[in-house]
Structure 1
Amino acid sequence: MIIKTLAHALSPAGVRGRLSILIFHRVLAHRDAIRTWDIDANDFTRAMTWLKESFNVLPLDQAIARLIDRTLPARAACITFDDGYADNFTVAMPILRDHGLTATFFVATGFLDGGRMWNDTVIEAVSHCGKSRLDLSEEGLGVHELNSAVTVRQAIMNILNEIKYREPAERRRTVDYIAAVAGVRLPNDLMLTSEQVRAMRRAGMLIGAHTVTHPILACLKPDEVRSEILDSQQFLESLLQERVSLFAYPNGKPNIDYRAGDAEVVRGLGFDAAVTTAWGVADSRCDLMQLPRFTPWDKTRLRFGARLIRNLWQNEQLRSGQMACP
């Protein structure tokens, strides 16, 4: 198979080993005409089949240890999820187990047991408001036509982009305003429960920290950054009765969503590794506290594999000095 052959050449075993870390968020039970950015169960099943055909999928903690020791197998890959959505347990995990795969789930602990992330408040409010037009001009967010899945999706994206980097208290007030104008009863079952997190760990999945409230770390003071990270780590360690050694930066873009100093906070708290959302492949030259991740979104085996190969090929440019690890 051409993808496996190319992956083997670009991701060899041993000292030149490279680690492709895939990132996901939600896995919907069924395709959603509005939430087209989220993968559904059928597409996720196909993606896991294709990944397993061409790559050696490892648990992230084992992969990190072997990256350090320079003993990675050829075509090494890991699967990760961010945020802690309930469908990670109800939809994604059964598919992973059917394929004999292990993933790492990074959990924002403040939303467990009935919480809801601010972006989901916006998504749910706009998606289900039942109006043909949503007037948010009182808050300077404009008037949005909602007469099709396309216009609803565009409205959601525009609103999210507008308020994403606002100060947390201001953003909370704004999303409450949006929900009130939309007149929607918001769900309280989008995120994992504590017992589901425990069950995932018992099933062999890995659990990592992802802060408490999923803030943009670059917008916080150093003591606030440390508290967000440490409190989430300690909560999970108490919940699972074991060390939590892996961390994922919220949003995760270097120098935009987190700073170099924030990575040093993670290092100082004793994590073994931390992952970003900067695209790329991890190798021995990468900072363990700033490992890149990547998601191929294609719907066919060839395109899915080709995008993974392209991501590996770009790592070749990194090694030649034309690109840089985060």
Structure 2
Amino acid sequence: MESSAGVLKKIKKGVLGSARGCGVFSLVQNSKWRRDRLLILGYHGVAIDDEHCWKPTLFLHPEYFRDRLRRIGRCGCTVLPLGEALERLYASDLPERSVALTFDDGTYDFYKHAYPMLKEFGFPATVYLTTFYADYNRPVFDVIVSYILWKRRCAFLNLKELTGENLRFELSTEAARLRATRALLAFSSRRKLSAEDKDDLVVRLADAVGVDHQEILAKRILHIMTPREIGAVASNGINVQLHSHRHRTPSDRTLFLREIQDNRTRIEALTGSRPTHFCYPSGVYDDAFLPWLRDAGVESATTCDPAIATRSCEPLLLPRLVDSSTLSALEFEGWLTGVADMLPHRARA
């Protein structure tokens, strides 16, 4: 039986198709209502290999991403740098069909695929950079564990030799892979594994299920950009901003502010600019964070809640549409025009 979310998606696509056919898209995109609003688009990754098959909600195939940029241009959108876009939003001075492009984490696939395409189309963009792994040229631990388990969906995994726990998982189902991932992350947390120990665990996990770990390293899948690459994009039109140092938002004020400060210090060293805009890691936020961010001199913060920003939005809780392989071209154009924002939609986080 189809889920309620699937049924709702079909209904929305039907409404959007009718709206486009009846000229509503054109009417709304040229309206003062749309001109007073800013669509902040969020991206996580443009696949190097098969990441879009592993996590279609996070990754796009390169040609899929190129098509998005074409549609942004064909819709007559004005793509603004994030800082300028926000200044003009709150000053009631936005141009027609304003859009800001943002990319989370700062992974190598941005440098390899997204950055050249952005230059080709002449679009500015912001990278929300998590900095710990920028100096540590290895895949990000939490996500590489999940990716390796997905790569060997036909395998069985016994954690006995990896963690000492007699836990067996048949990796053919998503639920089982999620349980296995959680078990490995919990083990890492309990043992307080160092970065080197986590690397060793990943190598042994790949061997246990028959995945070529060296190929992942060679392709730099799920790696953060190197300092050289970050400097290169920052000096060529890409604005680098805050995403926490270790991709986390502690509930303790001191630890939270340390994440921001460590992140900012490293970004300043890499780019020569002081970052003042923030993106909540994994879209997780709390009202308690707002005064802490203000204390840290943060001017804006984006969520993963899908909506188009207006002047009435709290600057530290800005909505953002996270684009993905699961969003059809029709739905994407619906957001560019503003029509999709008029339809009911669930908060992502």
Give the structure 2 partner of residue 133 of structure 1.
156
Query: 1:301 Cα shift?
Result: 3.4
The SS at the match of 2:30 is: helix
Q: How does 1:138-287 map to 2 (within 5 A)?
A: 143-146=169-172, 151=173, 155-160=176-181, 169-170=189-190, 173=193, 180-183=204-207, 185=213, 187-188=216-217, 189=220, 190-215=223-248, 217=249, 219-252=250-283, 257-287=284-314
Give the structure 1 partner of residue 98 of structure 2.
76
Query: 1:84 Cα shift?
Result: 1.2
- Specify which of 333, 338, 343 is matched with residue 305 of structure 1: 333
Q: In 2, distance between residues paired with 1:41 and 1:11?
A: 32
Change over 3 Å in CA distance of 1:22–1:171 after alignment to 2: farther
Q: In 1, distance between residues paired with 2:188 and 2:89?
A: 37
- Specify which of 10, 14, 34 is matched with residue 54 of structure 2: 34
Q: Percent identity?
A: 23
Does structure 2 conserve the Cα–Cα contact (< 8 Å) formed by 1:163 and 1:171?
no
Q: Does 1:109 align with 2:142?
A: no
Alignment deviations for residues 14-35 of structure 1 (CA, whole Å, 9 cap, x no partner):
xxx1111111111014555434
The SS at the match of 1:87 is: helix
Change over 3 Å in CA distance of 1:8–1:62 after alignment to 2: same
- Specify which of 46, 59, 76 is matched with residue 67 of structure 2: 46
The code of the aligned residue for 1:145 comes to L
The SS at the match of 1:112 is: helix
Q: In 2, distance between residues paired with 1:65 and 1:240?
A: 22
Q: In 2, distance between residues paired with 1:135 and 1:179?
A: 15
Does structure 1 conserve the Cα–Cα contact (< 8 Å) formed by 2:150 and 2:171?
no
Change over 3 Å in CA distance of 1:274–1:94 after alignment to 2: same
Does structure 1 conserve the Cα–Cα contact (< 8 Å) formed by 2:141 and 2:202?
no
Query: 1:204 Cα shift?
Result: 0.4
Q: Does 1:120 align with 2:143?
A: yes
Query: 1:259 Cα shift?
Result: 1.8
Query: 1:118 Cα shift?
Result: 2.6
Alignment deviations for residues 257-281 of structure 1 (CA, whole Å, 9 cap, x no partner):
3321212211111122111112222
Q: TM-score scaled by structure 1?
A: 0.80
Question: Gapped runs of 5+ residues in structure 2?
Answer: 1-19
Q: In 2, distance between residues paired with 1:162 and 1:92?
A: 33
Does structure 2 conserve the Cα–Cα contact (< 8 Å) formed by 1:109 and 1:213?
yes
Q: How does 1:311-322 map to 2 (within 5 A)?
A: 311-314=340-343
Q: In 2, distance between residues paired with 1:28 and 1:171?
A: 32
Change over 3 Å in CA distance of 1:197–1:181 after alignment to 2: closer
Does structure 2 conserve the Cα–Cα contact (< 8 Å) formed by 1:104 and 1:207?
yes
The SS at the match of 2:101 is: strand
Point out which structure has higher relative CO (alpha carbons under 8 A, 6+ apart): 2
Change over 3 Å in CA distance of 1:132–1:261 after alignment to 2: same
Change over 3 Å in CA distance of 1:172–1:98 after alignment to 2: farther
Does structure 2 conserve the Cα–Cα contact (< 8 Å) formed by 1:118 and 1:172?
no
The SS at the match of 1:78 is: strand
Does structure 2 conserve the Cα–Cα contact (< 8 Å) formed by 1:281 and 1:311?
no
Q: In 1, distance between residues paired with 2:128 and 2:122?
A: 20
Query: 1:198 Cα shift?
Result: 0.9
Q: TM-score scaled by structure 2?
A: 0.75
Structure of greater Rg: 2
Query: 1:10 Cα shift?
Result: 7.2
Give the structure 2 partner of residue 22 of structure 1.
41
